[in-house]
Amino acid sequence: MRTKKTELSRNENARRHPEGVVAGDISPGDASGKLSAQAEAQINPPGRDSPGVRLDFARESRKGVGEVVYCPGKSDEQLRFIADSVRSKGANMAFSRMSPEQAEMISSGNPPLVYNPISRLGTIGGHDVRAVCAVAVLTAGSSDVPIAEEAAGIAEFHGAEIKRFYDVGVAGLHRLLGILDELKDSDAVIVAAGMDGALPSVVAGLVPCLVIGLPTSVGYGIAKGGKAALSSMLASCSPGLVVVNIDNGVGAGLAAFIAAKRRGGEGS
């Protein structure tokens, strides 16, 4: 039984390895060993030269999307170490919820950090835009834009073509109908909405692709910091709508990119 489980594990690792076994270029056992060795070589253990940071540079080869560094709570020492490690390996890295001061601290270097103060997203490196993978990003109102930009920036960083349609909420439904043809041509749609969170349900009922509801903490009183929008999206009966947590632009952007590249033909 132990041998069988080991072989199943190897086969699973082989399927995840970018070179794969299907083409006959590598055996399941070799693929498993190669993936394990790659992960070990690219993860920095904590210690005197690595201030409590373990960077997972092998994540993109496993998942198709890379690691995103969450900046709040990180020390200056940790962020400098991360930026130096990324640059020394010639890797790509995104930094979420980054303050302007943190961005300034690690901005210099080759390649430089690119920082968006609206989304608070910083990036080192990045991927070429892949025209076969299009993600539409909508907001119900202009107050939802910062979170939507976080989602758009993450998907764009990984190579998606982004179509932005902001301030198209249900209070003026004609604005949505005017862009419907472009939405139908997208491979995935992200809809950021606060208040009553109604827009994702409407969009999901009109387009053939996956719609990702992104509740935001925008709204008065009973909106309860996005909880009303989250509940509304989760209770929706529109088919093809999935929902991420409140203000989770990173999660929405990553999910949209994975879905879009599959539907667009890159990962199928």
Q: Tell me the per-residue pLDDT of 128-180, one tens digit each, with 9 for 90 and over.
A: 665 558 999 999 999 999 999 999 999 999 989 999 999 999 989 899 999 99
Residue 256 pLDDT: 95
Residue 144 pLDDT: 97
Residue 253 pLDDT: 96
Q: What is the mean pLDDT of the chain?
A: 83
pLDDT at 107 over 60: yes
More confident residue, 176 or 3: 176
Q: How do the domains of the chain map onto residue ranges?
A: 59-124, 130-263
Positive or negative CA dihedral for 198, 204, 206, 210? positive
How many H-runs (helices) and E-runs (strands) does the chain carry?
11, 9
CA distance 98 to 255: 21
CA distance 145 to 131: 24
Mean pLDDT of all residues in 105-126: 92
pLDDT at 94 over 90: yes
pLDDT at 101 over 50: yes
pLDDT at 30 over 90: no
Strand positions, DSSP E, 98-240? 114-116, 121-124, 130-139, 160-165, 188-193, 210-215
Q: What is the per-residue pLDDT across 177-228, written as a single tens digit (0 to 9) for each? A: 999 999 999 999 999 999 999 999 999 999 999 999 999 999 999 999 999 9
Task: Give the up-direction half-sphere exposure of residue 80: CA atoms within 13 A in the CB hemisphere.
Answer: 7
Nearest to 73 by CA among 50, 94, 98: 98
Angle value at C-alpha 190, between 188 and 195, nearest 5 degrees = 155
Residue 261 pLDDT: 86
Nearest to 188 by CA among 265, 137, 135: 135
pLDDT at 39 over 60: no
Q: Which of 16-20, 108-112, 129-133, 230-234 has the highest average model confidence (pLDDT)?
A: 230-234
pLDDT at 45 over 50: no
pLDDT at 268 over 60: no
Residues 6+ apart with CB under 8 A from 4: none
Of all residues in the chain, what percent carry a pLDDT higher than 90?
Answer: 62
CA dihedral of 130, 136, 139, 143, whole degrees rounded to 10: 10
Q: Can you read off the two tokens belonging to residue 169? A: 């909420």
The number of beta carbons lying within 10 Å of the beta carbon of residue 66 is 22
Residue 237 pLDDT: 93
Residue 40 pLDDT: 45
Task: Give the up-direction half-sphere exposure of residue 249: CA atoms within 13 A in the CB hemisphere.
Answer: 29
Angle value at C-alpha 79, between 145 and 18, nearest 5 degrees = 80
Whether the Cβ atoms of residue 240 and residue 184 lie closer than 8 Å to each other: no
C-alpha to C-alpha distances, 122 to 8, 56, 126, nearest whole angstrom: 39, 18, 11
Task: With cut-offs at 50, 70 and 90, classify the pLDDT of residue 35.
Answer: low
Residue 265 pLDDT: 60
Residue 7 pLDDT: 39
C-alpha to C-alpha distances, 37 to 57, 85, 188, nearest whole angstrom: 12, 18, 34
Assess if CATH 3.40.50.970 describes domain 130-263: no
